[in-house]
Chains A and B, each alone.
Chain A
């Protein structure tokens, strides 16, 4: 374990739950009596403190990034610049963000590849500032929208809070200024609302349990296939790959739930990031359900500017491939992530082509087709996750080769028991309602617990979710990091 991992203030840690969060909430609502601006400044400072605990060396970088983007945005919003100059300002702003991101995230990768090709002897060791991928993207979106004339002028404290807001700062969701800043400006969220705090705690509890109970619980099965010493059989490789499929989902969606729950306690509604992705019946559907804020960002600020589907079928596929490969690379500077993105690009092209050229399904086969589509989509996603998880391309191909070699099957007592556990996780992912369905969380309408079918309206759910929070807190391990922190 590195020092930075050990020192991170995680949502699933005692200092965060019992110290930081209560103080941040208390200060926010106490200052709410003194107007609208003071709580926002408090929350921005608390967010910086949250970041500084584990990343103090990069606080200056974060502040510089905010100042730079705010200045560029201000030039675009406040001045009536000529079109060419506006474009030059935008280009400079986006290029500045991308340069910083590329330096910290990709310099080492680039040097390693140059070394491999030309034996340059070049060596670059740059520490990755936590959250840089997320705060770079949120601010690029802000600049592009400012250029498009879709942004009103924001006060610096609200803008700074939008970028640093601690529930999302480290691993998203990727926020949109038009969604968030009006909420920060609103007076309504500055006084404590016990109902929102309770609902926030319930959502936080579900997220914490997903992380500490489910994701951390299945982690040992993942190493059956992916540890450096592993030489898995066919069944062990599949158990490991499936276990990782569920570990990643419960880990990241658990984190997103916790972020949404924490934010709700402050009266701020964060966007949804997951919508039961393994219930998807196509890869297109999967990307509408998995890491939704990233998908929306890539669609609005990469795929559509590239031309989207406006320039014919072939260019649409090219744009899809570019978007997905870059989306893969955004997750990390490694060929495994490029392969993962490219594979999903290919899946999306096939999916689009099938939608266009494939036969129509007779209504009597609709149900069967839907189940087959769900299984096929799920298997395609599992295969792609192997690249996402593996330490190297060689390791990914080795695991995949084991998954494709049914001549080596052990399926002893251990494998049977592990299969049972994987099936329990699969049942949860496929058949259980998701957090927003349980809670009746509606980000668009800013409501929670008001839909008639929401479990959160049932009195017994209060006690069940309280128990879930207790189990979530008890499950906290001091060495359990969120997978998405490294992106």
Chain B
């Protein structure tokens, strides 16, 4: 064999060896805690819930899971535990669809929690790709199959994160490494599970949630140029199909689990924008929500809450960053309502709260500051 051919073999063998070393590093450090809860190295967590949840479901102990969109992302698990007397795991996903929520919840339900808290609105039932076509959800890792483990272990970014977590465990360089871990390039900046996706200390709550911003958002979405988007993805039949598959399918398959589902307290401006700029959208959302309420309340293991009629919150625009996203103060209020059983939808009259909301919307007049 020529020396060039020997060098070629050495090169390929070395590449293979380095790859196996990286695999070993990821397996030992296990940044997502897929194989075992963190022991050798301090546990670190990512803000990327679609990835992080695959590990949380395995590494955490819980009897209650909390699911939702950006409206449920800033909750603290410790608040849930304290107010509701549970041992919770927050799995909320920013901008998520019912396909994603169903998939993550189904994986969590394999750990047999007693209760699911679910922030649910009509928007999650929009059209969405199936879970295996969704590049943001590592579906096989949730499924814990060979392909999922291989994609985790043979991932350069996981090896890089592992090396970074390893570096962070060295006392001499711990501080600069922690300082550089902002979550943008290195994705595991959080050291306490309770801090995942909560608002950082010193966050300007008053500057973010105020009536000025809520009104500005209202003007933006109800502008004639953009108001056409209010009707994006509101096709009734499609939403019903998605709801039946992703929500009812899961609820019916787990009769031993209690599903506490709530409609989030959007600001009244969201509905007023529809009323004024796209009345047909308002009608469609009304009919779809009525259908959802009737279906959900027909299950004995579902308790449905409608917080959209909570006038003291939804009419106070200082609670909002735009027309739907409410402040952390309202997060706590939502928990207290859940604990106190307020705004529970009556199974014998499931659309009563919806009709009260409709009356509020029809009567509402914008107050300019």
Contacts and interface: CB of A to CB of B under 8 A. Distances in A.
Interface string B2-16: 101101101111111
A1 B182 CA distance: 27
Contacts of B7: 194-195, 198, 462
A16 to B, nearest CB: 16
Interface stretch (A28-36, A61-69, A138-146, A465-473): A465-473
A322 B314 CA distance: 59
A215 to B, nearest CB: 13
Interface string A194-226: 110110011001000000110001101100100
A414 B185 CA distance: 10
A478 B135 contact: yes
B11 A194 contact: no
A221 B185 contact: yes
Interface string A461-487: 011011101111111111100000000
Among B7, B19, B155, B185: residue with most chain A CB under 10 A: B185
A421 B156 contact: no
Contact of B180 (A221, A420, A462): A420
A413 B15 contact: no
B15 A466 contact: yes
Nearest to B26: A474
Nearest to A205: B15
Contact of B22 (A195, A218, A474): A474
Contacts of B17: 470
A99 interface: no
A193 B179 CA distance: 49
B14 A466 contact: yes
B182 A212 contact: no
A309 interface: no
Given A462-B7, A462-B10, A470 B185 contact: no
Given A1-B135, A194-B8, A220 B15 contact: no
Interface residues of A, number: 39
B129 to A, nearest CB: 9
A417 interface: yes
Given A462-B7, A462-B14, A221 B155 contact: no
Interface in B125-163: 133, 135, 154-157, 159
A413 B175 CA distance: 13
B182 A471 contact: no
Among A205, A221, A417: residue with most chain B CB under 10 A: A417
A367 to B, nearest CB: 34
A418 interface: yes
A421 B185 contact: yes
Contacts of A1: 135
Nearest to A467: B18
B184 interface: yes
B182 A414 contact: yes
Contacts of A474: 19, 22, 154-156, 159
A217 B185 contact: yes
Among A195, A197, A466: residue with most chain B CB under 10 A: A466
B8 A466 contact: no
A471 B12 CA distance: 13
A220 B11 contact: no
Interface in B166-212: 179-182, 184-185
A473 B182 contact: no
A470 B135 contact: no
Contacts of A472: 156
A218 B22 CA distance: 21
Nearest to A469: B15
A114 B11 CA distance: 57
Contact of B182 (A418, A466, A469): A418
Contacts of B184: 220-221, 224, 414, 417-418
B139 to A, nearest CB: 12
B156 A466 contact: no
8 contacts: A194-B5, A205-B15, A212-B156, A466-B13, A467-B15, A471-B22, A473-B19, A475-B157
Interface of B: 2, 4-5, 7-8, 10-19, 22, 133, 135, 154-157, 159, 179-182, 184-185
Given A220-B184, A470-B18, A470-B19, 9 more contacts: A194-B2, A195-B7, A197-B8, A202-B11, A212-B156, A417-B180, A417-B185, A469-B11, A470-B15
User: Which 5 A-B pairs have CB atoms at the shortest separation, nearest pair first?
Assistant: A474-B156, A466-B14, A475-B156, A470-B18, A194-B4
